[in-house]
Structure 1
Amino acid sequence: MRDGFKQLIIGFLFVLIKIHVVVDLLPDFLGYIFIYNGIKQIATLSSQSYEKLKILSIILVIASIPNFFLNDQVIQQSGWFSYYPIFLSLLKVILVYFLFDLLRGVAKLLPSNDALQATNRMYTWYLTIVLGSLFFQSLLMNFPINIAFSAMIFIVISVLVIEISFLFYLRNMQKRFPSGGLFNVYS
């Protein structure tokens, strides 16, 4: 179980961090492969179905391959391709939505309710901030430039904080499980 959470953390770090020197040094498609492996391990050990997550992970691996070669300037110069980052963000939000269903099932395996409460709290905050940011980004073009710039800075900081909080949440969930395996200790 701990290794599955480790895979998730590494995968979401790859997706979060962008170091672009000719190509992305931490490519998103590798991050989604790590996420897929983590989901597979967690779902298998907790005896849960992960078909939707499996399909979404594979779609994100394939859809994020162009992101490996293209930097943000090239994407913004292209007309129809400028919607590509929004498309990837929406797919990632859907993936995280279904991931939280899996994580709720895992949290119920633990003896205390603390993990389930933390999962529900993180679910609410994460989806509220990320979906709110996607919604407000579409409205910002209608505002004066000084208001839109200030709002964009606030949105970027909010999303960065919630993404880092999500990584800390995954790490805390990983720590809740013993290194010897869940079923040896809690069965």
Structure 2
Amino acid sequence: MRDGFKQLIIGYLFVLIKIHIVVDILPDFIGYIFIYNGIKKIATTSAQSYEKLKILSAIIAIFSVPNFFLSDQMIQQSIWWGYYVIALSLLKVILVYFLFDILRVVARLLPSDEALLSTKRMYTWYMTIILGSLFFQSILMNFPIFMIQSVSIFIVILVLIIEISFLVYLRNMQKRFPDNNLFNRYA
């Protein structure tokens, strides 16, 4: 179980961090492969079905390959690449939605209800901020020019905070499970 969370953390770090020198040094598709492996280990250990996530992880890994070559300048020059980035963001949100379904079941395996409560809280905050940011990005062009910059900065800061919080949440979930995967929920 701990190794599955470790794979998720590494995968989301690959997806979150973008260092672009000719190509992306930490490619997203490698991150999604790590995420898939982490989901597989967590779902297998907790005896859950992860068919939707398996298919979605494969689709998003393939769909994110062009992102390996795209720089921010290329995205800004073509409106079609802008749609690609939005579609990739939506696929990531769907992936996280299904991931939280598995994480809720995994949190119920722990002896205290604290993990389940933190999972529900993280789910609510993550989805609210990410979906809200996608919504505001779509209507941002209708704002007055002086507001666009400040709203964009605010959105970027909020998304960065929630993404880092999600990584911290995954790390805390990893710490809650014993090393040997032998645990029982106390009734």
Distance of 2:34 and 2:137 partners within structure 1: 29
Give 1:153's aligned amino acid: I
TM-score by length of 1: 0.97
Distance of 2:183 and 2:155 partners within structure 1: 42
Matches within 5 A, 1:13-162: 13-162=13-162
5+ residue gaps, structure 2, are none
Aligned to 2:5: 5
Q: Tell me the C-alpha RMSD between the 2 structures.
A: 0.8
| Structure 1 position 81, deviation (Å) | 2.2
Query: Aligned residues, how many?
Result: 185
* CA shift digits 1:70-114 (9 cap, x unpaired): 111112212322211100000000000000000000000011100
TM-score by length of 2: 0.97
What percent identity do the matched residue pairs reach?
Answer: 75
Corresponding residue to 1:186 among 176, 184, 187: 184
Distance of 1:55 and 1:185 partners within structure 2: 29
Displaced runs of 4 or more, over 6 A: none
1:106 alignment partner, SS class: helix
Distance of 2:75 and 2:133 partners within structure 1: 20
2:183 alignment partner, SS class: helix
Distance of 2:93 and 2:62 partners within structure 1: 16
Distance of 1:11 and 1:185 partners within structure 2: 26
Distance of 1:12 and 1:79 partners within structure 2: 27
| Structure 1 position 10, deviation (Å) | 0.2
Distance of 1:149 and 1:95 partners within structure 2: 29
Give 2:163's aligned amino acid: E
* CA shift digits 1:32-76 (9 cap, x unpaired): 000000000000000001011111100110000000011111122
Distance of 1:49 and 1:100 partners within structure 2: 13
| Structure 1 position 25, deviation (Å) | 0.2
Aligned to 1:171: 171
* CA shift digits 1:114-140 (9 cap, x unpaired): 000000000000000000000001111
| Structure 1 position 180, deviation (Å) | 1.2
